Amino acid sequence: MTTRRQGVASAGRVVVKVGSSSLTTAEGGIDPARVRSLVDTLAGLRARGAEVVLVSSGAIAAGLAPLGLSRRPRDLATQQAAASVGQGLLVHRYTEEFARHGQTVGQVLLTVDDVTRRNHYRNAYRTFAKLLEMGTVPIVNENDTVATTEIRFGDNDRLAALVAHLVHADLLLLLSDVDGLYDGHPTAPGTSLLAEVSSDDDLEAVTIGRAGPGGLGTGGMQTKVEAARIATGAGIPVVLTSAEQATPALAGEQVGTMFHPTGRRRPTRLLWLAHATEPKGSVVLDDGAVRAVVERRASLLPAGITGVDGSFAAGDPVDLVDAHGRAVARGLVNYDSDELPGLVGRSTHELSRELGSSYEREVVHRDDLVLLVHPRHRVP
């Protein structure tokens, strides 16, 4: 008799992520049969009383045929065009399939700003909360049509982990074209499936991300393991398996790989700040400021800064680095990069007297700051 995984079958709110490779045909277009099978599984989960959030890739794939493209485009502009055409088609397909079960879906397109800037992330949470309260299945994707960096397959793994935290999910299910995490390439002789992962120690013998082109899809298994780290580090269990095994996985059967929680919930916005942003620049801290930020969780003041690098505006994410260039924290800066050099090394009281009371503020407030090193790690 197979022992069911505790907490999986009883999860009341589940985030499910499905990748393009699990939704498409061999030719690269959306496969209606695969979409229908996935929706049947999720509708069954909804019917038993669970709430479901679906993070779905596939917009670019859905847009290929209508635009007369035979393969996934390489350039960003064409990817954006394909995503623009395909996103509506993909959500329409989901709408029709869920409607067969009498269930409603809603589209949620997210950007990093939606959940890192203080005045945005609460709106994102309220949107999800209201959709779920009204019995709707949110269909989530990154807003690829206005993306400013390269759209890469696998990005939605990280997005799904962060959404799971945002909506207070009880479980994250990552669906792939591989049935779990192996200690090597799944097709290589002698490789084994890891059924349980309790810590990074269980991953020491795993050679993910080294199989070369064509091994595990464009994003590869690395992005899925990183997503699992994000979610489990925030207290959310993760199951990784193939789309074909979604039903038994959600029933708690011993399929795929189970990643067990390793940490506790963190402030949602700070989790996104740590894992979903790219720094626009950096500020260099003296040794005292490093200790204050890392050990005492203090705000960063101008007096503790020795240098500024990069071009950024107030509200942008920046890395706080020590004298050796090691990033110790990331935060949302309160000054433009061209304004900071004149403030470096000076006290807020001095700046207030000379420039006005508006300068008596932190460079990065502690509420807008997340550590990138553990406080127990020794700092200068």
In this prediction, residue 219 carries a pLDDT of 46
- 65 close to 82: Cβ distance less than 8 angstroms: no
Tell me what pLDDT residue 1 has.
43
Residues 6+ apart with CB under 8 A from 357: none
Q: What pLDDT is stored for residue 221 in this prediction?
A: 81
Residues 6+ away with beta carbon under 8 Å from 205: 183
Please give the average pLDDT of every successive group of 10 residues along the chain, which has 380 residues: 76 94 82 95 94 94 89 86 92 96 94 67 88 96 65 67 91 92 82 87 70 39 88 93 95 93 78 81 94 93 91 93 93 92 84 78 90 63
Closest by CA to 44, choosing from 234, 249, 204, is: 249
Q: What is the pLDDT of residue 376?
A: 55
Angle subtended by helix axes 118-133 and 268-275, to nearest 10: 110
Residues 6+ apart with CB under 8 A from 214: none
What pLDDT does 149 receive? Answer: 54
Would you state the pLDDT for residue 52? 97
In whole angstroms, what is the distance from residue 128 CA to residue 130 CA? 6
Cα–Cα dist 198/70, whole Å: 42
Tell me the domains of the chain and their CATH numbers.
13-271 (3.40.1160.10), 278-371 (2.30.130.10)
